[in-house]
């Protein structure tokens, strides 16, 4: 039995810069540790992303712009020609399947380990991550990062710009600068990790400077219409303590608006929070919102559709979903017709490599043939 599509703004077309998007659903970047030890995307990744090409936009997983920025083992990178060639296989496959992709650029900062990168991590200040780091030999205590010099800050800004150019060479439509989730750029924003007394620390105007310089350099390198920025106001993951969240983000939004990137991506956005409402009011461009679905908790039965619709009603332009796209290659169609979603497999499979929990999730036709998913009923 078939049913009529479920009416929702999520399925309306939209535009992002020069890109025409067939719907407003964005596949959020999700690290899945399927690259080689030196960061080259493997062929299985082309299969994985092409399976999900019906998303309005795919933002590919975090890739490091330099060697010292590596976080964990087997994550992707984008700072040499082997990385470019590996990613080009992925973007070619997604384009052939009708999709569109951005690449997220992420420097781990203190979230790293010498056993992963071969280098001592760097950060705004020598404040260690209060947690362990997964390495090829298991979890190890984090090391105290080395405080970046001003010269290293400038060279890192240049590395982000060079990585953005390589991403375009690899066939991506643009890049997302990751300034969230406790990684290097977020570390500069937060009082708990930024104890600097120079121009990159102290008051909010100093702590936002590095983020703004990175976004400016990336925009200069590939054009602002090809650039997005991800932020996570108030998020405490990876030991981040912002201290003055309500002051950081209005100032950052104003500064970024002057640069003019194509979009702002707000993680764990709550339409009822005044700060989200202020961001929407003051951000002049496209706003991608990632709904609050619980950190590590069970995935809602609707994959986040209801919360996404609430965010659209509150002014978001596009909605990003992560785990729902991981478990459902055909998520857009399932949500459109109201079909049940696949259950997530064992969380541990997300990070161990191979097909299990990665490319083996069934689409509707196969799932119904195997008796895993019933036919949807009319609403």
Catalytic residue numbers, as ranges: 183
Residue linked to tokens 């596009």:
318
Q: Are strands 25-27 and 57-64 parallel, antiparallel or unpaired?
A: parallel
CB atoms closer than 10 angstroms to residue 350 = 17
Give, rounded to a whole angstrom, the gap between the first and last alpha carbons of the chain: 12
Q: Cβ distance 304 to 316 under 8 Å?
A: no
3 state SS for the chain: CCCCCCCCHHHCCEEECCEEECCCEEECCCCCCCCCCCCCCCHHHHHHHHHCCCCCEEEEEEEECCHHHCCCCCCEECCCHHHHHHHHHHHHHHHHCCCCEEEEECCCCCCCCHHHHCCCCEECCCCCCCCEEEECCEEEECCCCEECCHHHHHHHHHHHHHHHHHHHHCCCCEEEEECCCCCHHHHHHCCCCCCCCCCCCCCHHHHCHHHHHHHHHHHHHHCHHHEEEEECCCCCHHHCCCCCHHHHHHHHHHHHHHHCCCEEEEEEECCCCHHHHHHHHHCCCEEEEEECCCCCCCCCCCCCHHHHHHHHHCCCCEEEECHHHHHCCCHHHHHHHCCCCCCCCCHHHHCCCCCCCCCCCCCHHHHHHCCCCCCCCCC
């Amino acid at each position: 039995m078939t049913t009529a599509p479920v009416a929702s703004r999520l399925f309306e077309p939209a535009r992002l810069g020069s890109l025409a998007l067939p719907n407003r659903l964005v596949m959020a970047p999700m690290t899945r540790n399927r690259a080689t030890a030196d960061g080259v995307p493997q062929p299985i990744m082309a299969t994985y992303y092409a399976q999900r090409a019906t998303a309005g936009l795919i933002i590919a997983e975090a890739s490091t712009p330099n060697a010292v920025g590596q976080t964990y083992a087997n994550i992707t990178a984008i700072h040499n020609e082997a990385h470019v060639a590996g990613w080009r296989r992925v973007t070619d496959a997604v384009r052939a399947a009708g999709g569109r992709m951005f690449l997220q650029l992420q420097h781990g900062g203190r979230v790293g380990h010498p056993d992963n990168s071969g280098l001592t991590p760097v950060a705004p200040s020598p404040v260690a991550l209060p947690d362990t780091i997964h390495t090829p030999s298991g979890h190890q205590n984090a090391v105290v990062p080395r405080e970046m010099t001003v010269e290293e800050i400038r060279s890192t800004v240049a590395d982000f710009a060079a990585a953005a150019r390589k991403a375009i060479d690899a066939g991506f439509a643009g890049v997302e600068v990751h300034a969230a989730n406790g990684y290097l750029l977020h570390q500069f924003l937060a009082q708990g990790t930024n104890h600097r007394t120079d121009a990159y620390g102290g008051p909010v105007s100093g702590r936002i400077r590095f983020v703004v310089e990175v976004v400016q350099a990336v925009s200069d390198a590939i054009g602002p219409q090809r650039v997005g920025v991800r932020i996570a106001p108030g998020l405490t993951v990876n030991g981040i303590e912002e201290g003055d969240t309500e002051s950081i983000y209005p100032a950052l939004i104003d500064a970024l608006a002057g640069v003019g990137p194509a979009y702002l991506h707000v993680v764990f956005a709550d339409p009822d929070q005044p700060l989200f409402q202020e961001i929407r009011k003051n951000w002049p461009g496209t706003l991608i919102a990632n709904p609050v679905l619980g950190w590590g908790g069970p995935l809602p039965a609707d994959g986040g559709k209801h919360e996404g619709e609430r965010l659209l009603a509150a002014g978001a332009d596009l909605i990003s979903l992560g785990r729902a796209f991981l478990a459902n290659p055909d998520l857009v169609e399932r949500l459109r017709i109201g079909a049940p979603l696949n259950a997530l497999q064992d969380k541990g499979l997300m990070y161990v490599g191979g097909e299990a929990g990665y490319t083996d999730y069934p689409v509707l036709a196969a799932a119904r043939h195997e008796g895993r998913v019933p036919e949807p009923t009319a609403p």
